[in-house]
A and B are shown apart, each in its own frame.
Chain A
Amino acid sequence: MKHPDIPSFAYKLFKWFCKDHLYEELEGDLEESFLANKEKYGLKKARRIYTREVLKMIRPTVLNKPKSGPGYQAALISSYVTISLRNLRRQKLFSFINIFSLSVAMSSGLLVIGMISDLLKFDEFHEHKHEIYRVISSATYQSRQLETQASSPLGLGPEIKQQVPNIQVAQLGRRLQGTATANDKKIFVKGIYADEHFFDFFTFDLIKGSKQNGLKDPFSVLLSESFVNKTFEDSNPVGETIDIEGLGTLKVTGIVADPPQFSHLQFEAIVSLSTTSILARQGIIDKSHDQWENLDRYYNYIYIPENQEKTSVIAWLNNNAPTYYKDPDNFKASFELQRINEIVPGPNISDSIGPKMIYLPIIILSVIAAAILLSAIFNYTNLSMARSLRRAREVGVRKLNGASRASIFGQFTVEAIILSLLSLGLGILLFRVLRNGFIEILPRAEEMVSLELTPQLIGWFVLFAIATGLIAGLSPSIFFSRLSSLRALRSGKMLKALSGISFRKSLIVAQFTLSIIFVMAVVITHKQYSYSLNNDMGFNKDNILNLRVQGNDPQILKSELMKLPEVSNVSFSSYIPGVGNWNNLQLVDARNQDSVWVHHIKVDDAFLENMQIELVAGRNFVPGENDVRESTILVNETFVKNFGLGSPSEALGTVFNVEGESVEIVGVIKDIIYANLEEHINSFVIRNTGEYQYANLKIASSDILGTLGSVEQVWDEVDANHRMDAAFMDQQIEDYYEFLVDFMKIFGFIGFLAVSISTLGLLGMAIYSTQTRMKEIGIRKTFGASEGKLIYLLSRGFFKMVLWAILIGTPICYLLFDKVILAQNVYRTQITIVEIGGSIIVLLLLCMVTIITQTWRAARTNPATVLRDE
């Protein structure tokens, strides 16, 4: 008992830090002295002396050694580890189920972590990564806000450099690609334009040549090391020339090291930016390319030294830059800064110079991986709780022997972490197996992620595994540490109610809900994919080989190609229909001078026949008819309807103005899906003007390779400068809908994970619950229950859960696809009972096998063996 006059803080402090066995003596002495001092010096001073005495007690001989000293802790953890390993070994089946499902789930998490860690490496190699900014722009055109662009006007760079002190500017340009002829070799090259300040602040190495002068003169080019190795091999290219299609002859001024993989600037060649103004004068590049109204294709990078405030730059962009727009009501733009290492991953902006990765897919993948992982964590929680009966006795004995709540908590947490680390081992193996497939599935991912196992990445993985273990172990740890020893050691009956049956059940239901959603997603996506390929587009896409004209004379090409016996017909078109392209055309109604935007394609007279497009009224183009000036067009049925021209045959003869010429409708075709399944069929005009991009070859032979070979021979005779670019139309359409296959792969992979994890969890629960009910089964059997009845009795509960999951998951998935995902397509498949029922049956069968194998075995056990052992 504390004497009321003793200062209570000092008293409590002393009680807290004093060794227990010394406390009685020392506090007694202190109190006695305090009372004596109070007599002698008065209360105030006595209190002061007491406090001082307490503080002077802080010395090693008195201080209570905390239990959490390093040695004690280590011993405790090593004991946790030993016991955990023993438990894992004793419960082989449960450990296996847990480790397997956790590692499968972790592998998806590891893939996402690997991807994110690769993306975060982007542009980190620049020495001045915190000081380089890109100017991004958003235009307003006739009060309509356009998309934000990564590019900005060519004129901006020099102006800002002149007006804002202490900054540097480098300007880049894109759209440099084509066939290069170097050292008598023809090879496709991709690169960028850059001015002579390119090496001023970007961290790229120049192997040969001059950093100051290499990009100064027009028609200079720096080649990348790997491009030089492919073309010039060992000879020195500096001073030589190369030809790039569309640019002309360029002088090689140096060799630049290949850009690192994690760079948003990628190039095999860098051409001096000064070349572009000459190309513009020659008419190769649009003359308006350096106008402030042109925001495309050029990039301004600004270096703002660390000690310099970037506010001056921002102020210039906000206040001065807009003054360059003379007619802001018609067109104006606003500018922002984007730091170089925040470009990838970054916001969704158009006209990017290199690979880009926006946040959305990363977030979606992370959420999916988290859902899978949670599912595996559910398993662990579920199985640990289910084993509570067995473990409770252990906990009870430990508690009786003086284990604190914290140490029980620690035991179960360590157990979960060990399990999770073991799973990580297997998970990393899976990661290595899966990573190439993962990179392939993600569009354009091969440019951006390598998923290489670096020590740093493994460090992240271990942290991830520990976090997973902590989360997985949380609820078992809390449950067991709360258990009182009395309750734990008493009969199991009370425990059962405690171990949260409804909670466990809802976890299983949640898992199977996820599973059914993914299984259904795969089935529905597959149906939409096969619909996309087999749906009637209104034209024939089989046996058509599309050949890019590449500026050759169509008539020469056609007459040469027609000589081949494999080619039965050749037509021409301005683009390939059915793969997401369309062109806009302004049409003026000759009756009332209203102008309307419609879609159109330019084809020749053979196109309709070749593509087997049906005419509902009128006639096709007549050869030579539009040669002097365009005088006739064909339209589709929707056109006739939209313009209110009555019946197709009534529409014939209607006159419109196209680009100043008056044209007459001579034919009406059936509606065809000229764009893609996502777009409505609009008013569509077919013109015949002689400007074609593609030749459509009708192939009569079934020997595809042979045909391609002879077409290539013809091509090489007609055009020696370009390589043949041809593809079969059905293949092109298939490629166009390839993203659905990617979806299917992703859903399929995730679905596989979800289904296997939840089935494993179910298996564990089934094994556990039949094992604990063996005695009950034995008794029931001796009293005459049939095997069938017993199987029904044991399986009923599980099927109920699976049915609940189906009941919840099916409508979610149906609505998601019917109202959201498929709803983006105008032409789409319908979800029928076949897809829904099929998915449900697959899942039910799986569950049935899982459950019945266990219950069947239990039901067949001889009751004597079960009831005897007591």
Chain B
Amino acid sequence: MKGTNLGEFQEIVMLSILILDENAYGVTIQEEIDRRMGRSISRGALHTALTRLEEKGFISSDYGEPTSERGGRRKRYYEVTNKGLATLQEAKELREGMWDLIPKLT
């Protein structure tokens, strides 16, 4: 796990990208997190998280076609890389393994 530690917020961002699938770009990710978490995050904070994830190689991005509703500016679509997916899986397994170790109270 060394060097690939994942913050909680970063994990949520990656999961949101996975949920959004083909339509994951700044605004939709922001909305998704908003909806799921019930917490409003700024686009700037999201940008920082995305930058960090991209630096780690967990996500990649591509520009789409320009659209008129954005003043002709292109969207930047994000997708989770295989490395990112593996890391998410690892994190999930780690947690589940730990949950399993908790003595059942029932």
Residues of chain A with a CB closer than 8 A to B69's CB: 32, 35
Contact, CB under 8 Å: A31 / B42? no
Contact, CB under 8 Å: A29 / B25? yes
Contact, CB under 8 Å: A31 / B70? yes
A33-B43, A56-B44 known; A26-B51 Cβ under 8 A:
no
| A46-65 near B? 1/0 per residue, CB < 8 Å | 00000011001111011000
Total contacting residues, chain A, CB less than 8 A: 24
B52's nearest neighbour on chain A, judged by CB, is A61
Residues of chain B with a CB closer than 8 A to A58's CB: 44
Does A497 interact with chain B (Cβ within 8 Å)? no
Contact, CB under 8 Å: B74 / A25? yes
Residues of chain A with a CB closer than 8 A to B48's CB: 59, 61-62
Does A2 interact with chain B (Cβ within 8 Å)? yes
Contact, CB under 8 Å: A25 / B26? yes
Which listed residue, A1, A36, A53, touches B43 by the CB 8 Å rule? A53
Residues of chain A with a CB closer than 8 A to B72's CB: 1
Does B56 interact with chain A (Cβ within 8 Å)? no
Which listed residue, B26, B45, B71, touches A26 by the CB 8 Å rule? B26
A25-B26, A26-B26 known; A32-B44 Cβ under 8 A:
no
Interface size on B, as a range, is: 20 to 34
Residues of chain A with a CB closer than 8 A to B26's CB: 25-26, 28-29, 32
| A13-31 near B? 1/0 per residue, CB < 8 Å | 0000000001011111111
Residues of chain B with a CB closer than 8 A to A52's CB: 42
Contact, CB under 8 Å: A57 / B74? no
Does B73 interact with chain A (Cβ within 8 Å)? yes
Q: Which residues of A53-81 have CB atoms within 8 Å of chain B's CB atoms?
A: 53, 56-59, 61-62
Residues of chain A with a CB closer than 8 A to B45's CB: 56, 59
Which listed residue, B30, B44, B71, touches A3 by the CB 8 Å rule? B71
Residues of chain B with a CB closer than 8 A to A35's CB: 69
Interface centre among A26, A29, A33, A58 (most CB of B within 10 A): A29
Closest chain-B Cβ to A47's Cβ sits at a distance in Å of 15
Interface centre among B30, B42, B63, B74 (most CB of A within 10 A): B42
State A58–B73 Cα separation when bound (angstroms).
21
Contact, CB under 8 Å: A25 / B75? yes
Closest chain-A Cβ to B45's Cβ sits at a distance in Å of 7
Which listed residue, B47, B51, B70, touches A28 by the CB 8 Å rule? B70
Residues of chain A with a CB closer than 8 A to B25's CB: 29
Q: Which residues of B31-61 have CB atoms within 8 Å of chain A's CB atoms?
A: 42-45, 47-48, 51
Q: SS class of chain B's interface: helix, strand, loop or mixed? A: helix
Interface centre among B27, B43, B48 (most CB of A within 10 A): B43
Contact, CB under 8 Å: B27 / A24? no
B40's nearest neighbour on chain A, judged by CB, is A49
Closest chain-A Cβ to B47's Cβ sits at a distance in Å of 6
B26's nearest neighbour on chain A, judged by CB, is A29
Contact, CB under 8 Å: A28 / B42? no
A31-B73, A32-B70, A33-B30 known; A61-B51 Cβ under 8 A:
yes
Contact, CB under 8 Å: A33 / B27? yes
Residues of chain A with a CB closer than 8 A to B71's CB: 1-3, 27-28, 31
State A15–B56 Cα separation when bound (angstroms).
27
A61-B48, A61-B51, A62-B47 known; A29-B42 Cβ under 8 A:
no
Closest chain-A Cβ to B62's Cβ sits at a distance in Å of 11
Contact, CB under 8 Å: B43 / A26? yes
B41's nearest neighbour on chain A, judged by CB, is A56
Q: Which residues of B7-23 have CB atoms within 8 Å of chain A's CB atoms?
A: none
State A752–B2 Cα separation when bound (angstroms).
78
Q: Which residues of A158-216 have CB atoms within 8 Å of chain B's CB atoms?
A: none
Interface centre among B27, B45, B70, B72 (most CB of A within 10 A): B70
Residues of chain A with a CB closer than 8 A to B73's CB: 24-25, 27-28, 31
| A345-377 near B? 1/0 per residue, CB < 8 Å | 000000000000000000000000000000000
Contact, CB under 8 Å: A25 / B44? no
A22's nearest neighbour on chain B, judged by CB, is B47
Residues of chain A with a CB closer than 8 A to B42's CB: 52-53, 56-57
A32-B69, A33-B27, A35-B69 known; A53-B74 Cβ under 8 A:
no
A1-B71, A25-B76 known; A59-B44 Cβ under 8 A:
yes
Residues of chain A with a CB closer than 8 A to B63's CB: 24-25
State A147–B94 Cα separation when bound (angstroms).
99
Residues of chain B with a CB closer than 8 A to A32's CB: 26-27, 69-70
Contact, CB under 8 Å: A61 / B47? yes
Closest chain-B Cβ to A765's Cβ sits at a distance in Å of 58
Closest chain-A Cβ to B17's Cβ sits at a distance in Å of 14
State A25–B30 Cα separation when bound (angstroms).
14
A50's nearest neighbour on chain B, judged by CB, is B43
Closest chain-B Cβ to A38's Cβ sits at a distance in Å of 12
Contact, CB under 8 Å: A26 / B74? no
Residues of chain A with a CB closer than 8 A to B70's CB: 28-29, 31-32
A35-B69, A59-B48, A61-B51 known; A29-B43 Cβ under 8 A:
yes
State A26–B76 Cα separation when bound (angstroms).
9
Residues of chain B with a CB closer than 8 A to A2's CB: 71
Residues of chain A with a CB closer than 8 A to B44's CB: 53, 56-59, 62
Residues of chain B with a CB closer than 8 A to A26's CB: 26, 43, 47
Closest chain-A Cβ to B15's Cβ sits at a distance in Å of 19
Closest chain-B Cβ to A398's Cβ sits at a distance in Å of 34
Contact, CB under 8 Å: B43 / A28? no
Contact, CB under 8 Å: B47 / A57? yes
Closest chain-A Cβ to B23's Cβ sits at a distance in Å of 13
State A191–B33 Cα separation when bound (angstroms).
92
Closest chain-B Cβ to A161's Cβ sits at a distance in Å of 72
A30's nearest neighbour on chain B, judged by CB, is B43
State A59–B48 Cα separation when bound (angstroms).
8
Closest chain-A Cβ to B61's Cβ sits at a distance in Å of 8
Q: Which residues of B72-89 have CB atoms within 8 Å of chain A's CB atoms?
A: 72-76
A60's nearest neighbour on chain B, judged by CB, is B48
State A29–B67 Cα separation when bound (angstroms).
11
Closest chain-A Cβ to B83's Cβ sits at a distance in Å of 21
Residues of chain B with a CB closer than 8 A to A29's CB: 25-27, 30, 43, 70, 75
| A679-699 near B? 1/0 per residue, CB < 8 Å | 000000000000000000000
Residues of chain B with a CB closer than 8 A to A24's CB: 63, 73-74, 76
Residues of chain B with a CB closer than 8 A to A27's CB: 71, 73
Which listed residue, B27, B43, B75, B76, touches A56 by the CB 8 Å rule? B43
A6's nearest neighbour on chain B, judged by CB, is B71
Q: Can you report 15 A-B residue pairs in the complex whose CB atoms are below 8 A from each other?
A: A22-B47, A24-B74, A24-B76, A25-B26, A25-B74, A26-B43, A28-B26, A28-B75, A29-B26, A32-B26, A32-B70, A53-B42, A59-B44, A62-B47, A62-B48
Knowing that A24-B76, A59-B44 are A-B contacts, what are 10 other residue pairs whose CB atoms are under 8 Å apart, sorted by A's residue number?
Answer: A25-B76, A28-B70, A28-B73, A29-B70, A53-B43, A53-B44, A56-B42, A59-B45, A61-B48, A62-B47
- A residues neighboring B (CB under 8 Å): 1-3, 22, 24-33, 35-36, 52-53, 56-59, 61-62
- B residues neighboring A (CB under 8 Å): 25-27, 30, 42-45, 47-48, 51, 63, 69-76
**8 tightest Cβ-Cβ pairs between the two chains A and B:** A28-B73, A29-B26, A56-B42, A28-B70, A57-B44, A56-B44, A25-B76, A61-B51
